[in-house]
A and B are shown apart, each in its own frame.
Chain A
């Protein structure tokens, strides 16, 4: 679709805003509607749009397949790692109360808030990369005449 100037220009214009909106939904999810699942899909849609317009190789040079595959795993590690951190700090698994701290109060989130923040970040990373991998898997199939 790279031959259509309108599509090319508009999507180039849109992609940064989609990414920004994805980040907003991700990190504002603890105050308003949103969270890791929604943000992940929005964030991935930017990459998928890029792939649709500029072709699969271009998308893969932005988000290489091997890298995205590792990100899937990383998100889950962040989630479960938060749980293990809670155990290490003396609480139950995923008991965010023990994540209370006094570093930069007012700037860094606290306790339950910090816990859900990190966990949702893990969710967001995994959802983003899973969506991208699904897109790669489908669009990489050879077309038969």
Chain B
């Protein structure tokens, strides 16, 4: 029986259809779940689908590491005529953590969903969640630029719906705010794609890159690049285009916030890196245009402003939301260096931050379930009744600060050395100082939950259920594991950076 199972898994993992199954399975599961409509069944099936998707992305990463990048032709049409899905080190790595977080958050979700989302909406919540995951993974796997836009819209539309499920009346408003800005961002991105299509007559990314190199429509190229950059900056929530993010994260249901915070902005960062390094060249972005300097400035201002804003928040979800804006800055700093070490640092920070922020928001979800509030004054003294949950916050917080032995340290160390190597000491110093701000806002929460008199709400609370604590500890544990053992995080990120830079003709 077990032998047959292993044999079956072996056959499946060798299937050439994996890249499309990754997208097609959750895509077809979502409407099927709506047709089924039974609450309990929907929950179980969506969980199975999420873990199957995770399995597929593990198998794909394995194949990339063993044999290098591979392609899948949809409908049997060869590129550049048809849509191809292309898997290489970089997107296999991004898809790995997106699907991992997707599956873990869904495993953690049932008690929190039951408490925060009306029962009648459950059978719609799970399909929307799967659709959001489909969109995010699709943006990564596809090698077709227009397809990126389609999947961006799938993930965005489903996340607007998910955010509006929040309990308070502010949730639909926050969702609308995100919808308006998100649509502007997506439209800008589409305008850029349209211009590129006009210049090159193709939508296949590799083909566009080839034809752009030979084209002389410099001004149109420039406009397309500008539109796509601004569009993606909105979706990434780069300072000062981040204004949709704090409200969306604060008022969405905890599970939704956790998933979106851990994955969504990173996938937009992925799309941005693809645009700069695969479609255009870093030479165009950073030498012809001064985008690297702009990114350093925006990233640093963003890190400082958002971190200081985080310090003054009394709502913990909002605190973490501002911290997310700051963390995007670190990714941009690395990517803007255009060196192998810099890009690797940016990429690995996507991975590490997904786990750290995912874990911390999971902790917030546990508190929200038991205390019924995410305001800091209600959390005071929570360590006396919820020691496990509080400890998870402490560990995750250390990761966010970047203390050695945690994942946050790995990415900050790589970023710091990359910045030093590039000879940019001022930026390196400012980065170190900014980490101190993270200490302040993490400590603020730690102080409240460990060293204060219990509040009324805390006295009535009890420890979070194991079904939520176990996934939380898996994610928080991962931040410690990947802080000490970086074979599958930093080393893959380095391979990905190397492949990206070689493909874009940067001589090492």
CB-based contact B24/A96 at 8 Å: no
Cβ of A97 within 8 Å of any chain B Cβ, yes or no, is yes
> With A76-B30, A77-B28, A81-B28 in contact, do A94 and B75 touch (Cβ < 8 Å)?
yes
Closest residue to B85 on the A side, CB-wise? A93
Q: For the complex formed, measure the closest distance between the CB of B350 and the CB atoms of chain A, giving whole angstroms.
A: 28
Cβ of A87 within 8 Å of any chain B Cβ, yes or no, is yes
Complex: how many Å from CA A97 to CA B32?
26
Range of interface residues on chain B? 10 to 19
CB-based contact A72/B31 at 8 Å: yes
Complex: how many Å from CA A73 to CA B28?
9
CB-based contact B28/A80 at 8 Å: yes
Cβ of A109 within 8 Å of any chain B Cβ, yes or no, is no
Which chain B residues (376-404) contact chain A, with CB distance < 8 Å? none
> With A80-B27, A87-B17 in contact, do A73 and B32 touch (Cβ < 8 Å)?
yes
Cβ of B129 within 8 Å of any chain A Cβ, yes or no, is no
A selection of 26 A-B contacts at a CB cut-off of 8 Å is A70-B37, A72-B34, A73-B30, A74-B31, A75-B31, A76-B27, A76-B30, A77-B31, A77-B32, A77-B35, A83-B20, A83-B24, A87-B17, A87-B20, A91-B76, A92-B17, A92-B20, A92-B73, A92-B74, A92-B75, A93-B17, A93-B20, A93-B72, A95-B75, A95-B76, A97-B76
Q: Using Cβ atoms and an 8 Å threshold, which residues of chain A touch B127? A: 73
Q: Which residues of A contact B (CB under 8 A)?
A: 69-70, 72-77, 80-81, 83-84, 86-87, 91-97
CB-based contact A73/B31 at 8 Å: yes
Q: Using Cβ atoms and an 8 Å threshold, which residues of chain B touch A73? A: 30-32, 34-35, 127
Closest residue to B35 on the A side, CB-wise? A73
CB-based contact A92/B72 at 8 Å: yes
Q: Using Cβ atoms and an 8 Å threshold, which residues of chain B touch A91? A: 76
Q: Using Cβ atoms and an 8 Å threshold, which residues of chain B touch A95? A: 74-76
Q: For the complex formed, measure the closest distance between the CB of A11 and the CB atoms of chain B, giving whole angstroms.
A: 32
Q: Which 9 A-B residue pairings sit nearest by Cβ, starting from the closest?
A: A73-B31, A80-B28, A95-B76, A73-B34, A76-B31, A93-B20, A94-B75, A92-B76, A77-B31
Q: Scoring B residues 54 to 82 as 1 if CB is less than 8 Å from chain A, else 0, what string do you get? A: 00000000000000000011111000000
Q: For the complex formed, measure the closest distance between the CB of A67 and the CB atoms of chain B, giving whole angstroms.
A: 11
Q: Using Cβ atoms and an 8 Å threshold, which residues of chain A touch B24? A: 80, 83-84, 93
Complex: how many Å from CA A86 to CA B73?
13
Q: For the complex formed, measure the closest distance between the CB of B84 and the CB atoms of chain A, giving whole angstroms.
A: 10
Q: Using Cβ atoms and an 8 Å threshold, which residues of chain B touch A77? A: 28, 31-32, 35
Q: For the complex formed, measure the closest distance between the CB of A25 and the CB atoms of chain B, giving whole angstroms.
A: 23
Q: Please tell me which one of the listed residues A70, A75, A80, A94 contacts residue B74 in the complex, with CB atoms under 8 A apart.
A: A94
CB-based contact B74/A76 at 8 Å: no
Q: Which of B24, B31, B35 has the most CB of A within 10 A?
A: B31
CB-based contact B74/A84 at 8 Å: no
Q: Scoring B residues 14 to 37 as 1 if CB is less than 8 Å from chain A, else 0, what string do you get? A: 000100100010011011101101
Q: Using Cβ atoms and an 8 Å threshold, which residues of chain B touch A94? A: 74-75
Q: Using Cβ atoms and an 8 Å threshold, which residues of chain A touch B17? A: 87, 92-93
Complex: how many Å from CA A94 to CA B95?
23
Q: Using Cβ atoms and an 8 Å threshold, which residues of chain A touch B30? A: 73, 76
Complex: how many Å from CA A75 to CA B35?
11
Q: Please tell me which one of the listed residues A74, A83, A86, A96 contacts residue B35 in the complex, with CB atoms under 8 A apart.
A: A74
Q: Using Cβ atoms and an 8 Å threshold, which residues of chain B touch A86? A: 75
Q: Using Cβ atoms and an 8 Å threshold, which residues of chain A touch B35? A: 70, 73-74, 77
Complex: how many Å from CA A75 to CA B127?
15
> With A70-B34, A73-B34, A74-B35 in contact, do A96 and B75 touch (Cβ < 8 Å)?
yes
Complex: how many Å from CA A74 to CA B316?
41
Closest residue to A73 on the B side, CB-wise? B31
Complex: how many Å from CA A80 to CA B21?
11
Q: Using Cβ atoms and an 8 Å threshold, which residues of chain B touch A72? A: 31, 34
Complex: how many Å from CA A97 to CA B72?
16
Complex: how many Å from CA A97 to CA B74?
12
Which chain B residues (76-105) contact chain A, with CB distance < 8 Å? 76
Complex: how many Å from CA A69 to CA B73?
32
Q: Please tell me which one of the listed residues A69, A76, A92, A97 contacts residue B28 in the complex, with CB atoms under 8 A apart.
A: A76
Q: For the complex formed, measure the closest distance between the CB of B176 and the CB atoms of chain A, giving whole angstroms.
A: 15
Q: Using Cβ atoms and an 8 Å threshold, which residues of chain B touch A84? A: 24, 28
